[in-house]
């Protein structure tokens, strides 16, 4: 791969690992468009978060607490645990990096799904590791496929559950079977960024397994249902020994005051959470049916988005929708060049999307 940051004979020698890093491809964002490209909460930040930010502003000239203990305690209580199990990060993106930094050595292998969030691959490579992918026939997260990818140099597995961008999930019984079969040296990172949108009773929940297995980290974020994507804050739940390591690695003031204050507020704002969840789940159902009526075959989804196979190359289809005023995510960089990922928006935005899809078909 020609990577311009790694040309030889230009003075500074950058690390070899950088040769394999790909730039992150973010969902499009442009003023004046309906944005269904980044799986955000379309209802915006709850009033409780705005008020907390306004209160925190007067102290913004001071460093935030280096150990956000109050927030950690509240998160811990939310999961019936103690603060010793919680690491707070600058988005779950940063936590993925911290986790990889604490596990990976050169030439270790890390396992990721064939079609999933690209940051897993990045952090494996950043520390000199090798990415091993497991196949996802029909978009399924199959525990046997994960197990088949394990070698004697495997030290980490990243699983998004539900998965971005397919919306598929691993069942509780399957995750239990996987954890029983994996050697305990392998850390399983269960990225539950979309767990709040799950309504399938048999979907695995990492926190239920934390007490039985030391080799799990569960990641949650305030970017999705809690609507704080722009503030960058998320957290990891893991056994105290791992949590202590993560907290040593993270930079001392990684979560700013405004993000900490807003996270505390939304965590205790059950009303906003329930309202957003109810509407998004109802809209997801309505959109699935409407898309099928239009002749599409959307994948079943447990996230706040729908993965849609399209006949035309995804980039081209996304351009057509953009011409109709709607931004969606072509999934070429996820290895799915004929699929789009469409976030669930407000009801009116979803209507606009359906109208745009209809227009592209006529
Ligand atoms: N994990 C998954 C599966 C995601 O889809 C995303 C965001 N798109 C993240 C993590 C990153 O979330 P955060 O905003 O907390 O960094």
> pLDDT band at 5, cuts 50/70/90?
low
> pLDDT band at 4, cuts 50/70/90?
low
Instruction: Report CA(263)–ligand 1 centroid distance (Å).
Output: 16
Nearest CA to ligand 1 atom 5: 164
Average pLDDT, the chain: 95
Which residues form ligand 1's pocket by a CB distance below 6 Å?
39, 91-93, 117, 160, 164, 191, 193, 221, 223, 229, 234
205 pLDDT higher than 70: yes
Residues 316, 317, 321: CA angle, nearest 5 degrees? 120
Instruction: Report CA(253)–ligand 1 centroid distance (Å).
Output: 20
> pLDDT band at 162, cuts 50/70/90?
very high
pLDDT of residue 175: 97
68 pLDDT higher than 60: yes
Alpha helices in 79-212 (DSSP H): 91-103, 119-126, 143-148, 172-181, 206-209
> pLDDT band at 13, cuts 50/70/90?
confident
> pLDDT band at 319, cuts 50/70/90?
very high
CB–CB of 83/247 below 8 Å? no
Testing ligand 1's pocket by substitution, the residue of 98, 164, 259 carrying the most ligand atoms inside 8 A of its CB is 164
Instruction: Report CA(18)–ligand 1 centroid distance (Å).
Output: 22
**Mind listing the pLDDT tens digit for each residue in 80-137?**
999 999 999 999 999 999 999 999 999 999 999 999 999 999 999 999 999 999 999 9
CA-wise closest residue to 260 among 109, 86, 65: 65
The Cα 300–Cα 286 span in angstroms is 12
> pLDDT band at 6, cuts 50/70/90?
low
Instruction: Report CA(7)–ligand 1 centroid distance (Å).
Output: 31
Average pLDDT over residues 166-181: 97
Name residue 237's beta-bridge partners: 86, 218
């Amino acid at each position: 791969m020609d990577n311009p940051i790694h040309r030889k004979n230009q003075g500074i020698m950058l690390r070899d690992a950088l040769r394999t890093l790909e730039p992150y491809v973010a969902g499009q964002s442009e003023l004046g468009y309906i944005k269904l490209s980044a799986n955000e909460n379309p209802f915006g930040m709850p009033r409780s978060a705005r008020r907390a930010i306004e209160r925190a502003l007067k102290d913004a000239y001071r460093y935030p607490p280096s150990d956000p203990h109050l927030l950690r305690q509240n998160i811990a209580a939310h999961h019936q645990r103690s603060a010793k199990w919680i690491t707070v990060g600058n988005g779950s993106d940063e936590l993925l990096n911290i986790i990889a930094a604490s596990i990976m050595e050169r030439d270790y292998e890390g396992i990721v799904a064939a079609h999933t969030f690209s940051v897993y691959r990045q952090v494996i490579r950043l520390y000199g590791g090798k990415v091993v992918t497991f196949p996802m026939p029909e978009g399924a997260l199959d525990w046997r496929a994960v197990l088949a990818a394990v070698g004697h140099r495997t030290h980490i597995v990243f699983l998004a559950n539900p998965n971005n961008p397919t919306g598929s999930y691993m069942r509780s019984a399957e995750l239990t079977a996987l954890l029983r079969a994996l050697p305990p040296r392998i850390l399983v990172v269960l990225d539950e960024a979309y767990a709040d949108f799950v309504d399938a009773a048999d979907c695995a929940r990492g926190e239920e397994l934390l007490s039985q297995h030391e080799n799990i980290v569960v990641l949650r974020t305030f970017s999705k249902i809690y609507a704080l994507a722009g503030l960058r804050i998320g957290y990891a739940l893991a056994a105290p020994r791992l949590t202590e390591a993560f907290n040593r690695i993270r930079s001392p003031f990684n979560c700013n005051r405004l993000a900490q204050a807003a996270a505390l507020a939304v965590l205790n704002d059950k009303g906003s959470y329930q309202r957003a969840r109810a509407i998004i789940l109802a809209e997801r159902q309505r959109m699935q049916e409407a898309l099928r009526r239009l002749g599409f075959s959307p994948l079943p989804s447990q996230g706040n988005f729908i993965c849609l196979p399209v006949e035309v190359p995804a980039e081209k289809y996304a351009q057509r929708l953009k011409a109709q005023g709607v931004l969606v995510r072509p999934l070429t960089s996820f290895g799915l060049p004929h699929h789009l990922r469409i976030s669930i928006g407000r009801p009116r935005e979803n209507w606009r999307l359906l109208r745009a899809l209809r227009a592209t078909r006529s």
